[in-house]
Amino acid sequence: MRPTRRVLLLCPLLLAVPGPARAQEQDTLAALLEEEYAAIHLYGVLGARLGERARDVARAAYDDHRRHRDLLLSLVEGTPPAPRLSYPLRAPVATAGAALRLALDIEDAMTVRWRNAFGTVAARDRAACAGAYADEAAHLARWQMMLSGPARATTAFPGR
Amino acid sequence: MDRDALLAAALGAAVLSGCTSGSGSRPTPAPTPTPSASPADPDLALLRSWATAERALAARYAPAVRAVPALKALRANHLARATAVVDHLRVRGAVAPAVPRQPRAPRDTRALVRGLADAESRQAARYLAALARVRDPLVAMLGAELAAGARQHATVLRVVRP
């Protein structure tokens, strides 16, 4: 039986439909992009409360979040989600201590998110995503170090 | 529904099942034990090198822990990671290679800690570079965790005051 012209015309459409794994990867990356937007916004808020030394650490983390946002923008297919005008704070950031704890919370959450996202990405995107995951884990350790010292700054498997 | 439409639907289903088989939404199966290590397993050499690296780094921490007791936690992390890598080797029927003899540690504590920080940074870069070659997604996840862990250690060692 020879395929009819109509069937042949449908084939490219069928091949363009993403499989479940690809769709899951795209959903995960889009959600992670929104988390990166929030992290960038929140670093802008907490940076004003920090002392000079901590502000340098925050600036490095902020720059990395912007790089990770750009990485995700290159990985998300179609129209990526846009940043919101503002992101809610779970608690007021009135002191340097509160700003440090917020930075720690951001990096803790982002380390988990990037680790989980790594499990869904295609093999070709692994190295880039693992690099971002390692960046987040390093920032988490830096804030932990400031708050509680070297003994509690690291974990065997960050984000697990 | 006419004959053409039925044919198109059947073809579509066949194409989609072909596109998604083996990489669908099913969870990645856990590694299952094999009776003996297969020389064709592309992840075996990497896992062996990772086991050696983690155990060698743990060994290098011993003199640093004597000088800076807070670094004990970092040594424990390496031992836990080494165990995880060895577990992956075991399910493949392979054993971890012996740890090579370590070079003599510098007496100066600052130099010792700085050397460890450099070693952790280099190891993190090696883990990241290896990820493109990994076949098993579970091994890739482990490699990413090892890289993230090494980066955490390098970060702490660069700011810790010996």
Q: Which residues contact B88 (CB under 8 A, 6 or more apart)?
A: B31, B43, B47, B138, B139, B142
- Output the pLDDT for position A11: 52
Give how far A54 is from chain B: nearest CA, Å.
Answer: 13
DSSP state of A124: G
pLDDT band at B124 (very low <50, low <70, confident <90, very high): very high
- The answer to whether A154 touches B153, Cβ cutoff 8 Å, is yes
Percent of residues, chain A, with pLDDT higher than 90: 82
Which residue, chain included where needed, has tokens 């004959």? Answer: B3
- Output the pLDDT for position A100: 97
Give how far B56 is from chain A: nearest CA, Å.
Answer: 16
Inter-chain touch B74–A15, beta carbons under 8 Å: no
d(CA B78, CA B156) in angstroms, rounded, equals: 14
Which residues of chain B make contact with A137, given a CB cutoff of 8 A? 148-149, 151-152
Give me the mean pLDDT over the A85-106 stretch. Answer: 94
Neighbours of B103 (CB within 10 A): 8
> Domains plus CATH for chain B?
44-159 (1.20.1260.10)
Q: How far apart are the first and last CA of chain A?
A: 54
d(CA A31, CA A106) in angstroms, rounded, equals: 15
- Output the pLDDT for position A19: 79
Share in percent of chain A as helix, strand, coil (round to 5): 70, 0, 30
Q: What is the pTM of this model?
A: 0.83
Inter-chain touch A150–B156, beta carbons under 8 Å: yes
- Output the pLDDT for position A90: 83
Closest-CA residue of B relative to A8 is B8
Whether residue B85 lies within 8 A of chain A, CB to CB, comes out as: no
Whether residue B59 lies within 8 A of chain A, CB to CB, comes out as: no
Which residue from A3, A131, A142 is facing B155, i.e. has the nearest CB? A142
Give me the mean pLDDT over the B131-154 stretch. Answer: 96
Closest to A98 in 3D by CA, of A147, A62, A153, A35: A147
Which residue, chain included where needed, has tokens 């424990």? Answer: B76
Closest-CA residue of B relative to A155 is B77
- The answer to whether B20 touches A17, Cβ cutoff 8 Å, is no
Give me the mean pLDDT over the B100-110 stretch. Answer: 84
Does B17 score more than 50 pLDDT? Answer: no
**pLDDT tens-digit map of A108-141:** 999 999 999 999 999 989 999 999 999 999 999 9
pLDDT band at B103 (very low <50, low <70, confident <90, very high): confident
> Domains plus CATH for chain A?
21-152 (1.20.1260.10)
Does B25 score more than 60 pLDDT? Answer: no
Whether residue B129 lies within 8 A of chain A, CB to CB, comes out as: yes
Give me the mean pLDDT over the B70-91 stretch. Answer: 97
Q: List the structure tokens of B131.
A: 């990820």
- Output the pLDDT for position B42: 86
Which residues of chain B make contact with A125, given a CB cutoff of 8 A? none
Inter-chain touch A130–B128, beta carbons under 8 Å: yes
- The answer to whether B146 touches B127, Cβ cutoff 8 Å, is yes
- Output the pLDDT for position A3: 53
Cα A99 to chain center, whole Å? 20
DSSP state of B22: T
- The answer to whether B64 touches B110, Cβ cutoff 8 Å, is no
**pLDDT tens-digit map of A16-59:** 566 788 889 999 999 999 999 999 999 999 999 999 999 999 99
Which residue from A4, A115, A131 is facing B128, i.e. has the nearest CB? A131
Closest-CA residue of A relative to B69 is A151
Q: Could you tell me where the DSSP H helices lie in B21-105? A: 44-67, 72-91
Closest-CA residue of B relative to A7 is B8
d(CA A25, CA A21) in angstroms, rounded, equals: 6
pLDDT band at B104 (very low <50, low <70, confident <90, very high): confident
Does A159 score more than 80 pLDDT? Answer: yes
| Summary mean pLDDT of chain A | 91
Does B34 score more than 60 pLDDT? Answer: no
d(CA B26, CA B136) in angstroms, rounded, equals: 15
Percent of residues, chain B, with pLDDT higher than 90: 64
Which residue from B72, B80, B155 is facing A141, i.e. has the nearest CB? B155
pLDDT band at B37 (very low <50, low <70, confident <90, very high): low
- The answer to whether A129 touches A159, Cβ cutoff 8 Å, is no
